[in-house]
Chain A
Amino acid sequence: MSAPDARPTAGATDGVAISLCRTDVTELAALRNRAAELEAIAARRGLRLPPNGHVVTTADLVALAVRPQRWLLLSAPAAPGAAAATWQALCADTAAAVDLSSGITALHLAGPSARDALARGCRLDLAAESFPPGRAAATMMAQVSTILAALPSGILILTPASTARHLREWLVATARPFGLAPPADD
């Protein structure tokens, strides 16, 4: 789905740029002792499922792991539930594939000050050396449960859909002193 450039917005050369990513989300959860099988199934589809705390990007997917034996797959928007159904068919007795496309909202934060802005609400060490591209983590930000993934283009933020507006308003307010490019969507 190439999250970073899904909805490019103005001024990533400024301090911070926030954009909303339209993406389907599928959660793959391996049944007991079936993680290796699931990884093999994914590998046959050209996807190396990342280890816990990591994110990988392929031509058409972003895959990240922040819980043991579970992965979130982000893919380009398609028919409702289609991505999850495809995966469920592939790994019928190995894993559960649950569609979370509506349940999770993805935001992308870019710019040289993105990590500084996030440090206003995120308790994790987001310094580039501690959280380099390829790392992912589940935590809380602005009192909202959040998954962060460091991509070469910036930080991908996943949050429950019902709190996405709260988080986005908070991010916009917090990033303003760093030179925020106003969001292009809505």
Chain B
Amino acid sequence: MRGPARIARGLLTDAQRPLRFRFDGRDLEGLAGDTLASALLANGQQLIGRSFKYHRPRGVVTAGAGEPCGLVDLLGAAGREPNQLATTLPLRDGLVAESQNRWPSLAFDVFALNDRLSRLLPAGFYYKTFMSPAWAWERLYEPLIRRAAGLGRLEAVVGDHADPAETVHDHGDVLVVGAGVAGLAAAQQLGSCGLRVLLADQDVALGAGPLLEPRWDAWRAATLASLARLPNVRSLASTTVLGAYGHGVFGALETLSAEESRRFGGLRERLRIIRVRRVILASGAAERLIAFPGNDVPGVMLAGAALAYLRRYGVAVGRQPAFFVNNDEAYEALFALAAAGIRSPGVVDPRTESWAMTRARALGIEMHAGAVVSAVGGRCAVRTVTVADLGGAHRATLPADCLLMSGGHTPLIALATQLGAPGQWQEAIAAFTAALAPATGRVARAAHGVFGWAAAARDGAAAARAVAAELGLDAEPLSALCMPADAETTPLAAIWEVRAPGKAFVDLQNDVTAADVRLACREGYEHLEHMKRYTTHGMATDQGRTGGLTGAAVLAAARAVPVSAVGALKPRPFAQPIPFAALAGGEVREHYRPKRRLPLHDWHETAGASFVSAGLWLRPLVYSRTPGWEAVLEEARAVRSAVGITDVSTLGKIDVQGPDAARLLDFVYANTFSTLAIGRARYGIMLREDGLLFDDGTTTRLGPDHFLVTTTTANAGPVLEHLEFHLQSVWRQLDVLLTDVTDQWAQFALAGPRSREVLAAVIPGLDLSNEGFPFMAAAAADIAGVPGRVFRISFSGELAYEIAVPAVHALTAWLAILAAGHSLGIRPYGLDALNLLRIEKGHVTGAELNGNTTADDLGMRRMLKPRGDFIGRALAGRAGLVAPDRLQLVGVRAIDSAQRLRNGTQLVAPADRTRSLGYITSSSPSVEHPGWVGLALVAGGRARIGGRLVGLAPAHGETTELEIVSAHHVDPENTRVRA
């Protein structure tokens, strides 16, 4: 039987498959199909942890996902995982778990002193006590509180997370949440009309509700069999719907079975994003606790949980179960335990008479009608239960080893609430229900106020027919399977709290008592949501499923208003804790974000390149894996003295065609393109509508109505979107076609005084003389036999060309150029050398086009066309953008050339080092000047050329004397590019 408390065969456990596990160092045995909680209870282990604030001993309270107390640390190969729910955690062989929040041991806990000092730890205690002095929070209070409070322990996970997860996108017509009788009946009805149905339930078994009632076994089996025959119904067990996000979108967390976990490489969880047209919420109800003194002693649990442990796992939660209940449904546990030979020492019910009480009396069970439990004897386990009458007078003391309570059932309406449905108070069940708009779906079963199995099945089917009708289908009622009739029941008598000496908890996980709620109310936190935040009631991982409404009712009593006037807590997603790994899904490690690779990526790698991430692109930084600037300087020297080649395929490229192509470009560029001759390129700048610089690049006219726009690497996407947006909104009348050809063309810059010779060798047919192919010329040409394009443009400031070929032929062209340049000393150069060269030349990139600069700031004011409309024209002229003291682009060099420059260094006047006049945007060691060169944005910078400033980099402890120079550190007359 595996465990002394295992008294019967469980419906989920396999007596032939024992499993070993370890809890707090004790070796124990359970069965396949057990949860950790059922296996612990089977071994008679009721004490499972210490509470959050008072460190009181706690045991398991529920048999499911709403469990407030049964949280444990799981010790696995990957380390310690805190806050695992023992009531849902499937037992597996070799599982090792530890109780939480106890020090040094579960039975003797030093911090339990908090409990004795509890008069000093009222609600809001942390707010009130640890307020001042301010310094003490970080140094004293927070470490202290963290040690004393908190649940579980976090350990740094080193290396990969051991448990990968994945995200799956699901679609269907209807999502049915909850696979009790109502959910099963709804899915069957919907499925038989041909609708695509997703049926999700957090339990490992579908139909877990009727599973508890033997008379319903036949109905459950027949319904599951008929669902299995419907290919359009997908049943998802172990799948908790975590949140409703509107527009038919739901998030759900699936816990994989051991078998499927193996198939998916150890995957434990799967996040499902579900999109449907309608939803049926049949998620049932949660049994609620009653607040009475000692309602947290290990062994006090919900009556329904005792029934579940008996039926599902064959475990008796005690040998002497006393009951404190106020509703007939809760008596099912009493009857089931009695049938299994477990006799109750007595039942306490505040009602005077009911159908169930009559049936209990007939079994010879001692009834205490019109009574309440006023105290529980025992600290680490239940010993006795004190019975008092409704007036508080002592009536009896029952010997007991557990106390099974039920304060009624609170419909689970969290998802409906998230979908905007207001809670509606139902006096008959003393709880809130909810209704959905027809366009969203339907609520069935408990959340609809329906109790009783047969009634629930009928309600589920009716909801399904209504939804089918909404979706335009006429659903016939299915010939009803034989359903056992519901027993006659008497309505509950609402009871929320028993006022007697001692702590009566409304939130067992966050240790909130009924007295705390009253204190919050007295101190002005009368609104439910304020009380919640002040006391932390309902803010724990269980979201107050067992005691949330009880706390609200205590508040209502304190305010002397009905519960309906206080309302219910609004649980937001997620309905239960979800591991971050599940949210990340498959987008981790190498799949964390896409990498864009150059057509020649493999060549660069073989050539010894170090790569750098530039946006999503991987670009060669330098063809060396040795740290330092030497290789960069060598690459740059090759360009300045002979010839070099670099891969600039990352540049954004947009093919622009159509009769209005030139007009569009005149609108989006600040300078003019309609006047550009065919076969010529022009540098252009784009502004944002607010007048600031957006992007720059070279645009070439390939034909009368055909242009090729290039953008910076970073802005390739945004520029295309900018053009598309304006073309479809502001300038809808223009006939222009835009096509992104960024990936189509590999592009190389061939730069240096010997570049013409190299190019001539690979393009024999083209006249490359200054007359035949002047600066800013462009032409179609075959490069080493590959049809491509050649542009005479320069970023380095040298005589230079850019060569574009279709990307799949990139290697042919690249190798041909390298071969042709071999005797001239050609070198490939990376992003660092490219940056060095452009800084020396004073060309700008994203560091200067940083969203704060204007054309004038960067010395390009004359490019703005004087006439005609263009984006940014009007606002570029506003006062703030033309002020003479704006930051302007200049060059900087250190007076002491041994000193390095840094991007971000603040520039100040020698006489006043407290006021920043600007900062260095780009810097690099130079091959043309000794030491470093930099570009900077300096207030009124152009007027300061020739002067000196001081650079401060306090994070590096550096002070640098700088001279302000022209941004064009080399060839300011621009003769080289025309050589």
Residues of A within 8 A of B (CB): 27, 29, 31-32, 80-81, 96, 98-104, 119-125, 127, 129-130, 142-144, 160-163, 165-167, 169-170, 173-174, 176-177
**Contacting pair A176 B265 (CB below 8 A):** yes
B window 143-189: CB within 8 A of A: 166-171
A138 to chain B, nearest CB (A): 12
A-B contact pairs, 17 of them (CB 8 A): A80-B809, A96-B739, A98-B657, A102-B745, A102-B806, A142-B591, A143-B593, A143-B594, A160-B596, A160-B743, A161-B807, A162-B596, A162-B617, A166-B596, A167-B594, A176-B265, A177-B265
B706: nearest chain-A partner, CB-CB: A96
* A58 CB, nearest partner CB in chain B, Å: 23
Chain B interface extent, by class: 35 or more
Contacts of A122 in B (CB 8 A): 169
B275 interface contact, C-beta 8 A = yes
Q: How far is it, in angstroms, between the C-alpha of A103 and the C-alpha of B808 when the chains are bound?
A: 9
Q: Is B597 an interface residue (CB 8 A)?
A: yes
Which chain B residues (309-354) contact chain A, with CB distance < 8 Å?
A: none
* B657 contacts across to A, CB distance below 8 A: 29, 96, 98
Nearest CB to that of B171 among chain A residues?
A125
Residues facing A in B593-627 (CB within 8 A) are 593-599, 616-617
Judge whether A143 and B587 touch: CB under 8 Å.
yes
Given known A121-B586, A142-B594, contact A177–B264 (CB-CB < 8 A)? yes
Of A31, A103, A119, A123, which one neighbours B659 at CB under 8 angstroms? A31
A163 touches B265 (CB 8 A): no
Question: Are A102 and B807 closer than 8 Å at their CB atoms?
Answer: yes
Please tell me if the beta carbons of A80 and B743 are within 8 angstroms of each other in the complex: no
Q: Given the interface contacts A80-B786, A103-B741, A119-B168, does A165 sit within 8 Å of B735 by beta carbon?
A: no
Q: 9 nearest interchain CB pairs?
A: A103-B744, A125-B171, A102-B807, A162-B596, A103-B743, A102-B806, A32-B735, A96-B657, A161-B743
- Chain B contacts of A121 at CB under 8 A? 167, 586
Would you call B739 and A27 a contact (CB within 8 A)? yes
B residues near A144, Cβ cutoff 8 Å? 594
Are A80 and B787 within 8 A (Cβ)? yes
User: Which residue on A lies nearest to B660, using beta carbons?
Assistant: A32
A102-B595 contact in complex given A31-B658, A96-B655, C-beta closer than 8 Å: no
Quick one: which of B587, B595, B808 contacts A101, CB cutoff 8 A?
A: B808
Whether A100 touches B599, Cβ cut-off 8 Å, given contacts A125-B171, A143-B587, A177-B264, is no
Smallest Cβ-Cβ distance to A122: which chain B residue: B169
B597, A102: Cβ atoms closer than 8 Å: no
Contact B807 A103 (CB under 8 A): yes
Provide the bound-state CA to CA distance between A27 and B659, in Å: 18
Which chain B residues border A173 with CB–CB below 8 Å?
Answer: 586, 591
Q: Contact between A119 and B594 (Cβ–Cβ < 8 Å)?
A: no
B976 to chain A, nearest CB (A): 32
The reply to whether the CB of B742 lies closer than 8 angstroms to some CB of chain A is yes
Report A-chain residues with C-beta under 8 Å of the C-beta of B596. Answer: 160, 162-163, 166
CB distance from B690 to the nearest CB of A (A): 28
Q: In whole angstroms, how far apart are the Cα atoms of A80 and B746 in the complex? A: 13
Q: Which residues of A contact B168 (CB under 8 A)?
A: 119-120
Q: Which residues of A contact B786 (CB under 8 A)?
A: 80
Given contacts A100-B739, A102-B599, 6 further A-B contacts (CB under 8 A): A80-B786, A80-B787, A80-B809, A96-B658, A127-B171, A177-B263
- Chain A nearest Cβ from B584, distance in angstroms: 13
Which of B167, B590, B596 has the most CB atoms of chain A within a 10 A radius of its CB? B596
Quick check: A31 and B808 within 8 Å, CB to CB?
Answer: no
B275 pairs with A125, CB closer than 8 A: yes
Residues of B within 8 A of A125 (CB): 171, 275
Chain B residues lying within 8 Å of A81, measured Cβ to Cβ, are: 787, 806
Known A-B contacts A27-B739, A32-B735, A162-B617; A98 and B655 likewise in contact (beta carbons under 8 Å): yes
Closest to B166 in A: A120
B676 at the interface (CB under 8 A from A): no
Give the docked Cα–Cα distance between A29 and B808 (Å).
Answer: 23
B737 an interface residue at 8 Å Cβ cutoff? yes
Query: Is B948 engaged at the interface, CB distance under 8 Å to the other chain?
Result: no
Q: What chain A residues lie within 8 Å of B264 (beta carbons)?
A: 177
- Is B196 at the interface (CB under 8 A from chain A)? yes
Of the candidates A99, A123, A166, the one whose C-beta lies within 8 Å of that of B806 is: A99
B808 touches A102 (CB 8 A): yes
Q: In the complex, are the beta carbons of A103 and B591 less than 8 A apart?
A: no
Cα separation A144 to B591 with both chains bound (whole Å) = 11
Q: Chain A residues with Cβ under 8 A from B599's Cβ?
A: 102, 161-162
Q: Mark B712-735, 1 if CB is under 8 A from A, else 0.
A: 000000000000000000000001
Cα distance, A142 to B265, chains bound together (Å)? 19
Q: State which residues 471-520 of B face A: CB under 8 Å.
A: none
Minimum C-beta distance from B246 to chain A (A): 16
How many Å from the CB of A137 to the closest CB on chain B? 13
Q: Report yes or no: B171 in contact with A166, Cβ–Cβ below 8 A.
A: no
Nearest chain B CB to A26 CB, angstrom units: 11
Q: A102-B745, A103-B741 are in contact. Are A127 and B196 (CB under 8 A)?
A: yes
In angstroms, Cα B171 to Cα A173, docked, is 23
A169 and B590 form a contact (CB under 8 A): yes
For B740, the chain A residues whose CB sits under 8 A away are 103
Point out the residues of chain B lying under 8 angstroms from A119, CB to CB.
168-170
B170 proximity list for chain A (CB < 8 A): 119
CA distance A176 to B597 in the complex (A): 24
Q: Which residues of A contact B808 (CB under 8 A)?
A: 80, 101-102
Residue of B nearest to A33 (CB): B735
Closest CB in chain A relative to B355 CB, distance in Å:
49
Chain A residues in 8 Å Cβ range of B167: 120-121
Measured CB to CB, the closest approach of chain B to A22, in angstroms, equals 9
Contacts of A130 in B (CB 8 A): 171
Interface string of B776-806 (1 = CB under 8 A from A): 0000000000110000000000000000001
Kindly list chain A residues whose C-beta atoms are within 8 Å of the C-beta of B169. Answer: 119-120, 122-124
Q: Tell me which residues across on chain B come within 8 A of A162, comparing CB atoms.
A: 596-599, 617, 742-743
**Inter-chain contacts of B743 with A (CB < 8 A):** 102-104, 160-162
* Bound-complex Cα distance A29 to B745 (A): 19
Residues of B within 8 A of A176 (CB): 265
Within 8 A of A (CB), among B856-888: none
Q: In chain B, residues 529-578, which have Cβ atoms closer than 8 Å to a Cβ of chain A?
A: none
List of B residues within 8 angstroms of A127 by Cβ: 171, 196
Partner of A29, one of B196, B275, B616, B737: B737
Q: Which among B594, B658, B659 has the highest number of chain A CB atoms within 10 Å?
A: B594
A144 to chain B, nearest CB (A): 5
- What residues on B are CB-neighbors of A27 within 8 Å? 739
B744 touches A100 (CB 8 A): yes
Q: How far is the CA of A31 from the CA of B616 in the complex (A)?
A: 33
Return B597 CB to nearest CB of chain A, in Å.
6
Contacts of A160 in B (CB 8 A): 596, 742-743
- Are A102 and B809 in contact (CB-based, < 8 A)? yes
Which residues of A lie under 8 Å from residue B273 when comparing CB positions?
123
- A99 and B788 CA atoms in complex are apart in Å by 12
Q: Which residues of A contact B166 (CB under 8 A)?
A: 120, 174
B595 and A166 within 8 A (CB): yes
Give residues 642-669 of B contacting A (CB, 8 Å).
655, 657-659
Residue of B596, B599, B744 contacting most chain A CB atoms (<10 Å): B744
| A142 partner residues in chain B, CB cutoff 8 A | 586-587, 591, 594
Q: Which residue of B lies closest to A85 (CB)?
A: B787
Contact status B594-A166, CB under 8 Å? yes
For the complex, what is the distance from the CA of A173 to the CA of B786, rounded to whole Å?
36
Chain B: CB-nearest residue to A179: B263
CB distance from B585 to the nearest CB of A (A): 8
Q: How far, in angstroms, from A146 to B275 measured CA to CA in the complex?
A: 20
Q: In the complex, which residues of chain A have a beta carbon less than 8 angstroms from the beta carbon of B587?
A: 142-143
Contact residue among A103, A123, A163 (Cβ-Cβ distance under 8 Å from B594):
A163
Give Cα A120–Cα B165 distance, bound, in whole angstroms.
11
Which residue of the partner chain, among A100, A124, A143, A170, contacts B741 with CB atoms under 8 Å?
A100
What is the bound-complex CA distance between A103 and B265, given in angstroms? 34
Closest-CB distance, A43 to chain B (whole angstroms): 21
- In the assembled complex, which residues on chain A have CB atoms less than 8 Å from the CB atom of B196? 127, 129
